[in-house]
Amino acid sequence: MITNISLNQQQISSREINHSQNTTTSINKEENVTEITNEHFFQFPEKSTIMLSTKKIVDISNIDLDLSGIFRGGIGSGASASKLLTRTMKTIGHGEYVYNLPFCIEGFLSLPKEFCELKVFSTENKAVPASTIRDFIKELIEKGFTTVNIIINLDQHTSLVSIVILNNTATLRFYDSLSPEIISYDERYNEELIDFIKSLLPSSISLTNDKADVLHLLDQGGKNSTGCGYYALYTAMLLKDNESIRTTASFCEKPLLDETDDKKIRADLIVRTLLDYGLEKVDTDVLVLSMKRRNHVFDFMGFSVRCLIEKLKPRMEDK
């Protein structure tokens, strides 16, 4: 049996999250003025900032970008999915008590059992043994971290599991951006998945819940949305930065963010990964960009990344 938990919006301060604005761009021609609307254009509102993994705070107010390329597909599918997801988790970084693991649980639960082996992948898209994760989590516990987040990519749908550790016990909480009306939580967050996650924990830690608690924190919209990877990553960031979200276990009328915030979520992750990687390190050669490599989220912007880099350069200068 699945416990479906929804979020009480009143517990979240409006100051903690800035919602996106529906912004359009227009072009004036010489004689006839024609308004051209780019549905994927986004501009960050005033007083928008991003804190990088280095703790440097960057003002991104009024920075605009064309998200057309990033809406052509999701980051939770394809050969480079695990690499993109884990590298972005590393970019998001960790808080005082919350650590976002740069690993991804991947598999296909929809296939026959002999073909659906669950594995953990690293930022290099390589499978790693469970012992590596156990040792990693053990070290985090010794350092005082109480929550560990891991990306889950099953059947090309991405979600997040949060492992809340207290003394020698751990509670699992899953975050899914698809509603239970669209995806079966019973089938996805089943005993097999829970047992696999349990195998990643140090032997001294025991689980307190034998059933999956699922929180529909963000809503990506319909089944055909390609946003699950972005929403799962953004969830990890919200959990890292907001204690009120981490401790919420009550229900409410609707998710905190939904598909109307889609552009804001994707734009944030693009700029965050680009700044953290380093503007000067991005190869903007036409030939390189035309190869459409997918090593980072900002790669999905294609040639538009060159314009964004020029806009961000002055913001990175020390004042």
pLDDT for the residue numbered 73: 65
- pLDDT tens-digit series, residues 181-204: 999 999 999 999 999 999 999 999
Is 52 inside a domain boundary? yes
Q: What is the count of structural domains for the chain? A: 1
Is 214 inside a domain boundary? yes
Average pLDDT over the chain, rounded to whole? 84
What are the tokens at 256? 């905190």
Q: Which residue has the higher pLDDT, 312 or 213?
A: 312
pLDDT for the residue numbered 249: 63
| pLDDT above 90 for 290 | no
Per the CB < 8 A criterion, the answer to whether 126 and 83 are in contact is no
Q: Which residue has the higher pLDDT, 110 or 48?
A: 48
Is 200 inside a domain boundary? yes
pLDDT for the residue numbered 80: 76
Is 35 inside a domain boundary? no
- pLDDT tens-digit series, residues 4-35: 444 444 444 443 444 333 333 333 434 444 34
pLDDT for the residue numbered 78: 66
Q: Which residue has the higher pLDDT, 306 or 2?
A: 306
Tell me how far apart the alpha carbons of residues 2 and 170 are, in angstroms, rounded to a whole number.
Answer: 18
Is 298 inside a domain boundary? yes
Residue 79: other Cβ atoms inside 10 A? 8
Q: Which domain holds residue 237?
A: 3-23+40-316
Is 287 inside a domain boundary? yes
- pLDDT tens-digit series, residues 98-116: 999 999 999 987 777 666 7
Is 30 inside a domain boundary? no
pTM of the entire predicted model: 0.86
Q: For residue 128, what are the CA distances in angstroms to 106, 122, 191, 242, 290?
A: 11, 7, 22, 30, 32
| pLDDT above 80 for 127 | yes
